[in-house]
Structure 1
Amino acid sequence: MVDDIIFGARILDLALEVEDHLIISDLHLGYEEALNYQGIMIPKFQYPKIIKRMEEIHSRSDCANIIINGDLKHEFGKINRQEWKETLKFIDYLKERFQKIILIKGNHDPLTPIIAEKTGLEVYPYYSTGNFIVMHGDKIPGKWDEITEQKIIIGHEHPSVGIRSGERMEKVKCFLAGDFRDKKMIVMPSFNFITEGSDVLHEKPLSPFLKEAKHDDLEVFGVENFETFYFGKISHLLNVQQEPYPYDSHFIEF
């Protein structure tokens, strides 16, 4: 386990603590029902896991405010029954625990303003905490030179890292940290428990931020059960995987 501070932000499992703001990203509530519509029959298990994880995170945090950094719900062009039920319950849950709830618009959120209006909230394209600016990460703002904050936090990418032991590989959700243009950047993992996300070692990046940044120079911080593990830069992990025996046992000791 390593120090869990990146650029002044504290990693708290799948969340970040930044200047009295707790940040989570990419919940994709209602994902199970969307999969059921596609013929992929899985039980609706994610919401209880989200609440259980949030309870543990909240018990370890003193933040008064919470930011949901995009993709609160999953469906693009409609609000399915599961999304209505779970998003309203989740927002009520947050209102009981935080003074302010900030919703950032993600690429899955064209209809989230309807939910926000019903619950008395607003949806922001981005949000400043003071030293950090939080945005979803599906597009780079056009007026970049007008952003005065020196640190940015994005989601959207759902980063994970493929950890190999012999012939077996498992994905571990991770944070990424590095430079983007003239700023420091943190990429958050998804707060979604149906998939682990996109493997930064073996899959092409989705976010335009990741496509432009020096991908191999990004540092990887794996998270597992409230512990943070520093894996080094992506370039280091790629070099290690090319060796005859991909990982030494001490490198991934959970």
Structure 2
Amino acid sequence: MILRPLFREKDIDLHIVLGTPILYSRSHNMIIFSDVHLGFEESVARGLDYSSRRASTSYTGMFIPKIQLRNTLKTLSFVFKYLKPKRVLINGDLKHAFDRLLRQEREEIRELFNYLLSNGIEEIIVVRGNHDNFLPIILKDYGIELMREYELYFNNYKTLFIHGHLEKDISKYDLVVIGHEHPSLRCFNAYKFPAFLIVPTTVGNKIIVLPAMSAYHPGTSISLDHNNYLSPLIKKYGILNKARVIVSIEYEKVEDVEFGIENIVSDDLVIIDNYQLDNKGISVIEFKDIETAFLMCGL
């Protein structure tokens, strides 16, 4: 088993692929991820700063290891070892430079798409993120349209996939899946864990925030302060004091300890699901809310 349900409601067909920032839907045979940011290493080498809406060359370029694509393919190879999805949904920021198309972006996006197609993927859906300008130049070679947003049903749950950087009336949806935030949970001022967030909203639905696929973008630490978030959807609709936080911890296999789908529940504050996979253990920890996560992490 490499899947852990994202929700306790069994009819919501969204599952975390263990040890990854990827969601999987059985009914649509689809994997979902966000914020790959291919080309980041070249942008850093050129001294391009995209930390604000205006690109600048305000710092001296430096060379960093090219690991974005390699880590992405490694993560996907793990998924393909256990699952045989036919569809992929990339929920924004496939590339990094938003004011140009870098050579590394062009080459690595093609390499990624060719890898997906060679592993049985029949449909690639790409939702536009704020970094995805000029992306249609590459997508047209694969017959892929860059979508502003995408809708699916999971049983009776009407779901919107949107990157999250733009305003949107989300009241007619049951679930809204975004990226953009790269959420993470800092623990004991030493560890930073990419996190899935499930945020109730003032209009009665839920926003699911995906962690970033990018190895170089571990994310902004989650917070109870709306002003610390980037997405106008979180700022406008999010009830942050009731947001659930889900993180994963990997460790070496421990002999004589039985791993499985045993649940450890403590006053409904924390749920820990322990799994054994290959030669490693994975614990998926779900906190009832952000405040509980902070208390458990020494913040």
User: What TM-score, normalized by structure 2, do the two folds share?
Assistant: 0.73
Give RMSD over aligned pairs: 2.1
Number of the residue aligned with 2:164: 137
Going from structure 1 to structure 2, the CA distance change for 1:54 and 1:227 (only over 3 Å counts) comes to: farther
Larger Rg: 2
Moved more, 57-66 or 22-31: 57-66
What is the deviation of 1:45?
1.9
Tell me, yes or no, if structure 1 residue 103 matches structure 2 residue 126: yes
What is the deviation of 1:221?
0.2
Number of the residue aligned with 1:210: 234
1:127-164 deviations in Å (ceiling 9; x for gaps): 1222322111111325x45x4x4111111110000011
Number of the residue aligned with 2:193: 172
What is the deviation of 1:202?
8.4
Moved more, 129-138 or 190-199: 129-138
Number of the residue aligned with 2:177: 153
What is the deviation of 1:240?
5.1
Number of the residue aligned with 2:248: 223
Q: SS state of the match for residue 190, structure 2?
A: strand
Number of the residue aligned with 1:191: 213
Aligned partners of 1:228, 1:93: CA distance in 2, in Å? Answer: 29
1:13-58 deviations in Å (ceiling 9; x for gaps): 2101133221010000000111111113212122111101110012
Number of the residue aligned with 1:23: 32
Structure with greater proportional helix content: 1
Pick from 133, 138, 142 the counterpart of residue 115 of structure 1.
Answer: 138
Going from structure 1 to structure 2, the CA distance change for 1:28 and 1:227 (only over 3 Å counts) comes to: farther
- Whether the 8 Å CA contact 2:36–2:93 is kept in 1: the answer is yes
Moved more, 25-34 or 223-232: 223-232
Q: SS state of the match for residue 71, structure 2?
A: helix
- Whether the 8 Å CA contact 2:185–2:222 is kept in 1: the answer is yes
Which 4+ stretches in 1 moved above 6 angstroms?
none
Pick from 7, 11, 16 the counterpart of residue 16 of structure 2.
Answer: 11
User: What TM-score, normalized by structure 1, do the two folds share?
Assistant: 0.85
- Whether the 8 Å CA contact 1:88–1:119 is kept in 2: the answer is no
Q: SS state of the match for residue 177, structure 1?
A: strand
Moved more, 106-115 or 126-135: 126-135
Going from structure 1 to structure 2, the CA distance change for 1:116 and 1:224 (only over 3 Å counts) comes to: farther
Task: Give the unaligned 5+ runs of structure 2.
Answer: 48-60, 251-281
Aligned partners of 2:126, 2:283: CA distance in 1, in Å? Answer: 27
Query: Structure 2 counterpart of 1:193, which letter?
Result: A
Aligned partners of 1:235, 1:191: CA distance in 2, in Å? Answer: 25
What is the deviation of 1:63?
2.6
Aligned partners of 2:77, 2:68: CA distance in 1, in Å? Answer: 14
Q: SS state of the match for residue 62, structure 2?
A: coil
Aligned partners of 1:221, 1:22: CA distance in 2, in Å? Answer: 18
Going from structure 1 to structure 2, the CA distance change for 1:33 and 1:233 (only over 3 Å counts) comes to: same
RCO comparison, higher one (Cα < 8 Å, 6+): 1
What is the deviation of 1:118?
2.1
Number of residue pairs matched by the alignment: 236
Percent identity reads 28
1:160-181 deviations in Å (ceiling 9; x for gaps): 00011xxx42110010002122
Number of the residue aligned with 1:86: 108
Aligned partners of 2:22, 2:244: CA distance in 1, in Å? Answer: 17
Moved more, 170-179 or 131-140: 131-140
- Whether the 8 Å CA contact 1:4–1:228 is kept in 2: the answer is no
What is the deviation of 1:182?
2.8
1:110-129 deviations in Å (ceiling 9; x for gaps): 21111111222111111122
Aligned partners of 1:224, 1:197: CA distance in 2, in Å? Answer: 16
Aligned partners of 2:15, 2:46: CA distance in 1, in Å? Answer: 38
Number of the residue aligned with 2:58: none
What is the deviation of 1:77?
1.1
